[in-house]
Copies of this chain bind each other. A is one copy, B any other.
Amino acid sequence: MKKIKPINDARKTGTDLVFSAIRQNSPTPRIDIVKQTGLSPATVTSITADLILNGLIEEVPAVKSTNYQKRGRPRVDLKIRGDAHLVVGMQLTDKMATVVIVDFDGKQISDYSLPSAKPVRSALETVDLLEKALRKSLENANLKIADISGVGIGIPGIVDGPAGYVYWSPTISDREIFLQDMLVDRLDIPVFLDNDANLVAIAEQRFGLGREARNFIVVSVEEGVGMGIVIDGKLYRGSHGCGAELGHTKVHLDGALCRCGQRGCLEAYVGDYALLREAGTALEALSGKSAELQMDILLNEAKKGNQMAASIVERAGRMFAMGLANVVNIFAPELIILAGRRMQYDYLYHDGMIAEMKKSIMQVGAPSPEVRVHKWGDLMWTMGAAAFAIDGVSEIALKDLN
C-alpha cells in the first residue's frame, strides 16, 4: 500500500502558524495574526500568551495605527523577543571562516573573520577551523559557547542539508563526511548545515528581496556559481536533499574544462578561475598577483576598452545569460535575485546581459520574471547561515512548547 506522505504544513500546529506569522511581519498586532492564520481570536490570544510566558515573543507599543482606538487599552504589537536566544551564522570558504552573532530577532551583535592559508582542508582541519573561529568570535563578544542556542553553517559544494552530510566541497579534501555530527560532537550545541547558496536564498526570503515572492531563485557568482530555489515559499532540495546545481549545467557540448572534471559547465565560463585562465593570454601584467587582484585588473581593462579583456568578459556575460535563461525556461520563477560580491562589477548583470537572457526565454505574452540585483556586503552568506540557525532554534523551541 502506498502511504500518503503528510506535507509539512499540514502538520503545523497553531503555535507554529502564529509564531511564523509574527516572524514574517514583526512587529504585528494580534488582529493581523488572526487574519493571516485563519485561527480564531481566542486561539491566537491563548497561543500568544503562551509564547510570551515562554519568552519567545514580547509586546511592544503599536507602530501601526491603521485602526486608531480612541478609548480602551493602548494598542500593542507583538514581536520576536531578541533576547530569547543568541545564535551564530558561519560561512566557510577557501580563504576564511566568517562568523556573525545575532539575536533571536536577527539583530547583528558582532562579526568576525578568521583567515586560513590553506584553501583545501581535511574534514578534521575543517572542524578545527570552524571551532577556532567560533571560539574567537565569542571571546571577542564576551560570550561562552553555552550562551549560544545554535550554529548555522554554509558550506560550498554538494551538501545534504537535512542529513548534515557533505558529499563534496571544493574546500574540503575528504568526501562524503557527516560534518554536522562531527561539529555537534566537538561543540555540544545544535548545528545546522547547508549549501551556502541555499542559505543565501533563505536570507533573501527572511531579510531581503525575496520577502514578497512565493517562487524565486537566487543566483550568486563568485569563485563558483551558486543557486537556491524557493518554490511555494519553501527551499527546494530535490530528491537527495542537496538542492539545485546551476554552475554545472552544461552550456556547451564538449566545452571548456570545469573544476568538477566535466566539460562545458556554466561555471567553466563564468567563474573567477574560468576568466583568469584566459586572462593570462590577454594581459601580461597579471603574473604573480593574487586571484582577487587579477580579477580587478581584468575587469578594469575590459571596461577601459582592452579588446582581449573585453572579449573574455563579454563571453562570460553571454554564457551567464544563456544558463540563466535555461533556469527561467524550466522554472518560470516570478523573481530572479542576482546576489553577491561579483555583482559589484557590471559584467554579469548589465542591461545587455539581462536583455540577452530575456531574448533566450520563451516570449509568448507571458510576463518575463523580474530580475533584481542585490549588492550584499561581505556578510551575505554568513547572515544566510544565521537566518538558517534562527529557523532551527525556533523549531526546537516550539517543539518544546507543543
Q: Residues of A at under 8 Å CB distance from B? A: 1-7, 9-10, 17, 20-21, 24-25, 28, 32, 35-38, 157-158, 160, 167-168, 175-176, 211-212, 214-215, 227, 229, 231-233, 236-240, 242-246, 248-253, 260, 262, 264, 318-319, 322, 325-327, 329-334, 359-362, 364-367, 369
Contacts and interface: CB of A to CB of B under 8 A. Distances in A.
A329 B248 contact: yes
B4 A332 contact: no
22 contacts: A4-B20, A4-B36, A5-B214, A7-B7, A160-B366, A175-B364, A231-B231, A237-B332, A239-B332, A239-B369, A242-B332, A244-B329, A244-B331, A244-B332, A245-B332, A245-B362, A250-B251, A250-B360, A253-B319, A262-B359, A264-B322, A326-B330
Main secondary structure of the interface of A (DSSP, over half): loop
Given A7-B9, A249-B329, A326-B326, 15 more contacts: A1-B25, A2-B36, A4-B21, A4-B24, A6-B38, A167-B365, A168-B364, A231-B231, A240-B367, A242-B366, A244-B329, A248-B361, A248-B362, A250-B326, A262-B359
A165 to B, nearest CB: 9
A253 B322 contact: yes
A340 to B, nearest CB: 19
B2 A211 contact: yes
Contact of A232 (B7, B160, B212): B7
A331 B238 contact: yes
Contact of A364 (B35, B167, B318, B325): B167
A26 to B, nearest CB: 12
A177 to B, nearest CB: 10
Nearest to A246: B330
B236 A231 contact: yes
A9 B6 CA distance: 10
Contacts of A4: 17, 20-21, 24, 36-37
Nearest to A6: B38
B244 A330 contact: yes
Contacts of A242: 332, 366
A243 B332 contact: yes
B245 A330 contact: yes
A317 to B, nearest CB: 11
Contacts of A5: 214, 233
A114 to B, nearest CB: 27
Contacts of A2: 24-25, 36, 211-212
Contacts of A330: 227, 229, 244-246, 249, 326-327, 330-331
A36 B1 CA distance: 9
A64 to B, nearest CB: 9
The 5 A-B residue pairs with the shortest CB-CB distance in the complex, in nearest-first order:
A238-B332, A239-B334, A168-B364, A167-B364, A245-B329
A251 B253 contact: yes
